[in-house]
């Protein structure tokens, strides 16, 4: 991440940011890219492997040309469950949802004013609490 990105990174969901993001509710996901490391890795107590990974960084390419870069995101199947564990498990769940036509179903704040996205496809939904995020515009989709 470069200095310019650090100026645009968000850690708390303020009222103004929430208003800006709510226009994305219902927006289809054209593509997503899950990274094999996360910005939060160095802050964790134990070393992170692909098998024990809980937090991922990933990019959501929305159909309205919005790019959401999500950092330190967990993928939680429902409010009563723990986060998914394992890079392959997380990637397969998110990729499968994207292939089924996932969209942003809802935008929420957690008890610490952190961003939480509800992603939904016809057969699945997950909550995605996010440590930090950047919103920008994409011009080209990533290679499949």
State the residue range of the domain holding 25.
3-137
Query: Does 95 reside within a domain?
Result: yes
Domain total in the chain:
1
pLDDT tens-digit readout, 47-89 = 999 999 999 999 999 999 999 999 999 999 998 899 999 999 9
Determine the Cα–Cα distance for residues 103 and 113; give it in Å rounded to an integer.
22
Query: Does 67 reside within a domain?
Result: yes
Determine the Cα–Cα distance for residues 9 and 12; give it in Å rounded to an integer.
10
Query: Does 8 reside within a domain?
Result: yes
Query: Does 143 reside within a domain?
Result: no
Q: Which residues make Cβ contacts (< 8 Å) with residue 43, sequence separation at least 6?
A: none
Q: Model pTM?
A: 0.92
Determine the Cα–Cα distance for residues 8 and 67; give it in Å rounded to an integer.
13
Query: Does 24 reside within a domain?
Result: yes
Query: Does 13 reside within a domain?
Result: yes
Determine the Cα–Cα distance for residues 82 and 77; give it in Å rounded to an integer.
8
Give per-residue burial for 7-38: e unless 16+ CB within 10 Å, then b.
eeebeebeeebeeebeebeebebbbbbbeeeb
Query: Does 40 reside within a domain?
Result: yes
Query: Does 142 reside within a domain?
Result: no
């Amino acid at each position: 991440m470069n200095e310019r990105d650090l100026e645009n990174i968000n850690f708390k969901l303020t009222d103004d940011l929430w208003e800006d993001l709510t226009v994305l509710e219902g927006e289809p996901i054209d593509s997503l890219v899950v990274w094999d490391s996360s910005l939060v890795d160095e802050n964790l107590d134990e070393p992170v492997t692909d098998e024990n990974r809980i937090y991922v960084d990933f990019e959501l390419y929305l159909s309205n040309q919005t790019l959401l870069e999500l950092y330190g995101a967990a993928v939680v199947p429902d409010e009563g469950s723990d986060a998914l564990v394992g890079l392959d498990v997380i990637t397969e769940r998110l990729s499968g949802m994207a292939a089924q036509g996932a969209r942003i179903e809802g935008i929420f704040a957690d008890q610490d004013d952190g961003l939480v996205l509800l992603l939904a496809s016809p057969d699945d939904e997950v909550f995605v609490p996010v440590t930090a995020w950047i919103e920008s515009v994409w011009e080209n989709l990533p290679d499949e």
